[in-house]
Amino acid sequence: MLFSLNVHAQFFNGHAGAYVGYGSVKGNSPAQSSLGFNILFGFNHTFLSEIGLQFGYTYARKINYFLPESTIGRYYPYVQGFTAKAIIEQPLGGFLFIEEGLGLSAINDRTFSDVDEWDYGIVASLYLGWNLRKLSLDGFKVGFVGESAITFTSTTASYTMLGFRAVYYF
């Protein structure tokens, strides 16, 4: 005898994307202008279909690191970290939408050469974009994003970035 079992996915609206942005990084130091990037993936669960979950990795480094100059003996501050956010999307009419996110962050503070601390706090984001998927579930969304993370432990590391994001939904 052959038995069959229907299994239904509990997750939908899976997506992966990235953004590149300009902003600032800060630890136990004044804020430094920075360039950074973020990679992310997320999904919605059938239980809370309106609220999505999104996980990301962010890396932001002082802008001078990316400029052509003599780098011998110089240290360029940076932070890197992981985020987990709950996101809500709201259509603005047509193909425009806005997405808000709020969650937890873990940031590795490397603002000084002798500092290597993990700090924990919160992250918030705002994403204004264009839905290029038309009536399909698969496709791209692109737009402008602002994200800020602040921590409350150890060196109170933080970053703020404004950038361009592209996300593919599958």
Using 50, 70 and 90 to split pLDDT, how confident is the model at 44? confident
pLDDT band at residue 55 under the 50/70/90 scheme: very high
Q: Are 23 and 36 in contact (CB under 8 A)?
A: yes
Over 44-63, what HEC string results?
Answer: EECCCCCCEEEEEEEEEEEH
Select the more confidently predicted residue: 136 or 31: 31
Average pLDDT value over all residues in the chain: 91
Domains identified in the chain and CATH numbers: 11-169 (2.40.160.20)
Q: CA 144, CA 135: separation in Å to the nearest integer?
A: 22
pLDDT at residue 12, as a whole number: 74
pLDDT of residue 87: 96
Residue 159's nearest CA partner among 20, 6, 27 is: 27
Q: What is the pLDDT of residues 109-167, one digit of tens each?
A: 999 999 999 999 999 999 999 999 877 889 999 999 999 999 999 999 999 999 999 99
- In this predicted structure, what is the pLDDT of residue 69? 81
For range 93-104, the mean pLDDT: 95
Query: Is the pLDDT at 52 greater than 80, yes or no?
Result: yes
Contact 111, 28 (CB under 8 A): yes
pLDDT in tens, 6-23: 545 566 789 999 999 999
pLDDT value at residue 7: 47
Residue 3 has pLDDT above 80, yes or no: no
